[in-house]
Amino acid sequence: MGKKKLAVAITMMSIASLTGGIGAPGAQAQNDETLSGTATTTGGATGLCSSSALLATANFNAAGSATAPYPGTFTETNASASLSRSTGKTQLKLAIPFTINSGTTTITGTITNPKPYAGGSPLCGPSFQIYGIAVGTNGGQYTATIQRPGQPAHTISGTAQINGGFQFRPPGRQTTVTETLLAFPSP
C-alpha cells in the first residue's frame, strides 16, 4: 500500500472512531441511568392477603439522586403501583412519571410494567391485611424525552428495572426505591 493510501485509510479510521464507527454515523454510547431515592406514600387501597382475589394500590411521590449518564436529581409525583390477583395470577401495573434535572438538561418520562405484569407481591400484616406492595421487576419499560437547551427534543424508550417497597398503611411511610433505565443514551 502506498503512503498516500495508508494516510487516507488512517484518516478514515480516525473519523469513524470519532463518529461512532463505520456504518453508524452519530451513534451514541449507551449507559444505564439509575434513580435512587426515597418514596413517600400518599395513600392506597387494600384487600386481604389470604384471598384468591385481591387488589392493592400504593400511591407515592419520590425524590433522590440520578447517576450517569445524566447526573443530578429526580422527582416522581402522583406515581402508583397496583397489584391484582384473580384466578391465581398476580399482576403488577406501574404508572411512574419522572423528571430528571441534570445541569441544563431536563428529562421527562414514564415507567410502566407491560404484560405479563410480573414482579409484585403484597406486603402482609398480622391480620392478613395488605399494608403495601413489594416491587421487584426487570421487565418494566420507560419512555422519556430529553430536552437540552438549543436542541430539539429527543424521545427514547427502553427496559427498566424497579425495586422498592411501597407501604401505604399508614400513609406517609418512607421507603427506598431504585429504578434503573437500561441503555440510556449518553449526552
Q: Among residues 57, 65, 54, 59, which one has the least CA distance to residue 77?
A: 59
- Count of beta carbons in the 10 Å neighbourhood of residue 66: 24
End-to-end CA distance of the chain: 39
Q: How far apart are CA 114 and CA 148, in angstroms?
A: 29
- Count helices and strands (H / E) in the chain: 1, 9
The confidence score (pLDDT) of residue 9 equals 35
Q: What are phi and psi of 18, to 5 degrees?
A: -75, -25
The confidence score (pLDDT) of residue 28 equals 58
Query: Predicted confidence band at 27 (pLDDT cuts at 50, 70, 90)?
Result: low
The confidence score (pLDDT) of residue 80 equals 95
pTM, 2 dp: 0.83
Question: What's the Rg (C-alpha) of the chain?
Answer: 22
Partner residues linked to 75 by β-bridges:
63, 99
For residue 136, give Cα distances in angstroms to 14, 97, 124, 165, 185: 44, 18, 16, 9, 24
Q: How far apart are CA 123 and CA 33, in angstroms?
A: 28
**Of residues 101 and 47, which shows the higher confidence score?**
101
Query: Predicted confidence band at 174 (pLDDT cuts at 50, 70, 90)?
Result: very high
**Of residues 161 and 23, which shows the higher confidence score?**
161
Mean pLDDT of 3-13: 38
- Count of beta carbons in the 10 Å neighbourhood of residue 158: 17
Q: How far apart are CA 184 and CA 143, in angstroms?
A: 10
Query: Predicted confidence band at 55 (pLDDT cuts at 50, 70, 90)?
Result: confident
Q: Say which residue the cell 407481591 belongs to.
A: 121
The confidence score (pLDDT) of residue 4 equals 47
Q: How far apart are CA 123 and CA 104, in angstroms?
A: 40
Mean pLDDT of 157-163: 97
Asked whether the predicted pLDDT for residue 74 surpasses 70, the reply is: yes
Mean pLDDT of 77-102: 93
Q: Say which residue the cell 414482579 belongs to.
A: 119
Residue 67, all three cell numbers = 447517576
